[in-house]
């Protein structure tokens, strides 16, 4: 696929959360793998996490002054029209200077001005929608773009069917290509195979609801003969490491760096239902209980969870019901081997392992066709 030096110039825009940033970096890595000479420029939002994470991954990034609506301080929103106009002007300047042959939007505020400007200049534009319920930026952009990469079925409810490509969500290479065995993973935690293991994660910052639910019923794990790997998140670790009595079958951590080993050790996993977390869980293929966060735009985590539950690929416990029901459901699932096998089989069927490669290959093909058409 590689062409002559300098012939691929691609902008990737978006961010705001890890759920947008890490797929974007995965796509960039896949483009570099398929076309090592490709020049890639990121465009993010000033002050957002992509401005740190993208350079750490080895890519150049420019920031736009764009921001979302501040629902806590409505006065701050008076500046939004000026920020939007400033972002369009800056995006126009970056695009004119870099002269991309394709622009990829991954969701988040910065992708709006960038893709709008690119589409007006007749540059091929694509978006990658991670969720089963699209974010507002991607819904607004959909009419302007040439291609929409999705991870779920029935996305024609939101987008034009002839623009949709089911690519799946790009997942971290460390998870996608994990080779750690269950015995190796258990040994890393200082355990043998004698007891089932439950892994509880609530995202890198943590989930207050999930943490409260686990802490409130912690003794049920011991009584049921279960081991627990519990990622509290950095915000909550100090609160729970002291309030929960430590014992040999409990590993309580602020953050798990080696998620591949944690996944490999687990018999049952409890997680929020962010799009990228769900895509990782599909690849991992373990029985999972999802606790969708209610604190996300348009309740998209509930819709992600529903997409799995409809295929008997996961169980869902609502955020509101979790303190009373979550640990009880964990114990029931661990004890039901037949149900765990069925759930594991069903969630594996939903996995797409090469999403970033599919997207990269298609974008490069779009560029190549555009070049051929000009000659």
Residue 257 falls inside a structural domain: yes
pLDDT confidence band for 5 (50 / 70 / 90): very low
- Through-space distance between the first and last CA atoms of the chain, rounded to whole angstroms: 18
Strands 268-271 and 250-253: unpaired
pLDDT of residue 78: 72
Interval 63-110: pLDDT, tens: 999 876 656 766 676 777 888 899 999 999 999 999 999 999 999 889
101 and 236 housed in the same domain:
no
Q: Residue 23 maps to which CATH number? A: 3.40.50.2000
Residue 3 reports pLDDT greater than 50: no
158 and 46 housed in the same domain:
yes
Interval 202-244: pLDDT, tens: 876 789 999 999 999 999 999 999 999 999 998 899 999 887 8
160 and 31 housed in the same domain:
yes
112 and 182 housed in the same domain:
no
Query: What's the farthest any 2 CA atoms get from each other in the chain?
Result: 72
pLDDT of residue 1: 44
> How far is 132 from 88, CA to CA, in rounded Å?
28
Residue 327 reports pLDDT greater than 70: yes
Task: Give pTM, 2 decimals.
Answer: 0.85
Interval 19-51: pLDDT, tens: 889 899 999 999 999 999 999 999 999 999 999
Interval 174-208: pLDDT, tens: 888 889 999 999 999 999 999 999 999 987 678 99
> How far is 319 from 245, CA to CA, in rounded Å?
25
321 and 369 housed in the same domain:
no
Pinpoint the alpha helices (H) of 231-375: 237-243, 259-265, 275-284, 300-309, 322-335, 337-349, 355-374
Q: Provide the number of structural domains found in the chain.
A: 2
Task: Choose among 322, 324, 342: nearest CA to 333.
Answer: 342
254 and 140 housed in the same domain:
no
DSSP 259-295: HHHHHHH-SEEEE---HHHHHHHHHHT--EEE---SS
> How far is 210 from 296, CA to CA, in rounded Å?
16
89 and 106 housed in the same domain:
yes
From residue 257, give the alpha-carbon distance in Å to each of 127, 203, 251, 263. 29, 12, 14, 12
89 and 119 housed in the same domain:
yes
Find out whether 144 and 116 touch, Cβ atoms under 8 Å: yes
87 and 184 housed in the same domain:
no
Interval 366-375: pLDDT, tens: 999 876 666 5
Residue 2 reports pLDDT greater than 60: no
- Domain, as residue range, for 272: 174-349
205 and 312 housed in the same domain:
yes
Segment 152-160 shows an average pLDDT of 93
Average pLDDT of the chain, as a whole number: 92
> How far is 237 from 215, CA to CA, in rounded Å?
12
Residue 3 falls inside a structural domain: no
> How far is 186 from 9, CA to CA, in rounded Å?
45
Residue 242 falls inside a structural domain: yes
């Amino acid at each position: 696929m590689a062409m002559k030096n300098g012939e691929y110039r691609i902008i990737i825009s978006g961010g705001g959360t890890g759920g947008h940033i890490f797929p974007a970096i995965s796509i960039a890595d896949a483009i570099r793998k398929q076309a090592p000479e490709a020049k890639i420029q990121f465009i993010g939002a000033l002050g957002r996490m992509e401005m740190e994470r993208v350079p750490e991954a080895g890519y150049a990034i420019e920031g736009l002054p764009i921001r979302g609506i501040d629902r806590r301080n409505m006065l701050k929103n008076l500046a939004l029209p000026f920020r939007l106009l400033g972002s369009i002007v800056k995006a126009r300047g970056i695009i004119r200077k870099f002269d991309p042959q394709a622009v990829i939007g991954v969701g988040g505020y910065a992708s709006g001005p960038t893709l709008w400007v690119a589409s007006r200049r007749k540059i091929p534009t694509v978006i990658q929608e991670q969720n089963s319920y699209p974010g507002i930026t991607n819904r607004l952009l959909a009419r302007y773009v040439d291609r929409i990469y999705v991870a779920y079925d029935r996305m024609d409810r939101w987008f034009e069917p002839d623009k949709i490509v089911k690519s799946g969500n790009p997942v971290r290479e460390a998870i996608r290509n994990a080779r750690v065995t269950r015995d190796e993973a258990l040994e890393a935690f200082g355990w043998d195979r004698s007891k089932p293991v439950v892994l509880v994660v609530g995202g890198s910052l943590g989930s207050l609801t999930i943490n409260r639910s686990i802490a409130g019923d912690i003794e049920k794990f011991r009584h049921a003969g279960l081991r627990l790997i519990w990622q509290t998140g950095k915000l909550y670790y100090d609160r729970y490491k002291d309030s929960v009595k430590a014992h040999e079958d409990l590993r309580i951590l602020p953050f798990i760096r080696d998620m591949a080993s944690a996944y490999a050790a687990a018999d049952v996993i409890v997680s929020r239902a962010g799009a990228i977390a769900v895509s990782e869980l599909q690849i991992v293929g373990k029985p999972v209980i999802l606790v969708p966060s209610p604190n996300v735009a348009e309740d998209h985590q509930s819709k992600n969870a529903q997409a799995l539950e409809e295929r008997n690929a996961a169980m869902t416990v609502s955020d509101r019901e979790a303190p009373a029901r979550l640990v009880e459901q964990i114990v029931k699932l661990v004890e039901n081997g037949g149900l765990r096998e069925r759930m594991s089989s069903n969630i594996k069927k939903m996995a797409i392992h090469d999403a970033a490669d599919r997207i990269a290959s298609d974008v490069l093909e779009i560029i190549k066709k555009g070049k051929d058409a000009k000659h």
